Amino acid sequence: MREATVTRSTKETQITVSVKLDGKGESEISTGIGFFDHMLTALSRHSGISMQISTKGDLEVDGHHSVEDTGIVLGQALSRALGDKSGIARYGSAFIPMDEALSFCALDLSNRPFLVFRGTFTNQTIGGYDACLTEEFFRAVAVNAGITLHLDMMYGSNDHHKCEALFKAFAHALKAAVQETDGTVLSTKGALG
């Protein structure tokens, strides 16, 4: 049963995330940040990973704690659901276009967390979402799930399109990487990390 639920409570946020790797991409997302909810819903749908995410954060300060902490808890839930990561494809990559924008993701579920993030936004916000938090979210997911993650917003002029293409590229790469294989660890070392 490749699923997990993680709850994290601090003075800044209260978050519960449930994931089912073999779900149908169904989601219930509530973070208090509309555009972020939209991105997480797209992530769930395009990865095929069913997600329930409930985030209550100090939005009176700004969205930073809510977005980063959601990434932390989502990463932890993905890690628990994957277990020792044996018997999975391990690698995934995807190019995703959205109108004029093109984004790319390559990842390795390696237990060696690392983030390379390339791309810039034109505007500070997309709706009520601070665009700079995109990198913070993906860093939190990568570190807590043990993912080597390369993300590139290759080009585009509309920030909504660039960001959404990036989330969907991550989703499709993740979908490929979590696919079950023959039950062995895909490593010449016999272990990941």
User: CATH number, domain at 12?
Assistant: 3.30.230.40
Structural domain includes residue 33: yes
Structural domain includes residue 189: no
Q: CA 90, 52, 145, 87: dihedral to nearest 10 degrees?
A: -30
Q: What is the pLDDT of residues 147-175, one digit of tens each?
A: 999 999 999 999 999 999 999 999 999 99
Structural domain includes residue 187: no
Structural domain includes residue 149: yes
Structural domain includes residue 152: yes
Host domain of residue 164: 3-177
Structural domain includes residue 164: yes
- Residue 92: what are its φ and ψ, rounded to 5°? -160, 150
pTM, two decimals, is: 0.95
Please tell me the distance from the alpha carbon of residue 138 to that of residue 94, in angstroms, as a whole number.
Answer: 16
Instruction: Specify the residue for token string 């990568």.
Output: 142
Instruction: Provide the domain count of the chain.
Output: 1
Contact between 142 and 72 (Cβ < 8 Å):
no
Q: What is the pLDDT of residues 56-104, one digit of tens each?
A: 999 999 999 999 999 999 999 999 999 999 899 999 999 999 999 999 9
User: How many residues in total does the chain contain?
Assistant: 193
- How many CA atoms are closer than 13 Å to the CA of 57, on its beta-carbon side? 22
Please, which residues bridge with residue 52 across strands? Answer: 18, 28
Structural domain includes residue 171: yes
Q: What is the pLDDT of residues 20-36, one digit of tens each?
A: 999 999 999 999 999 99
Structural domain includes residue 109: yes
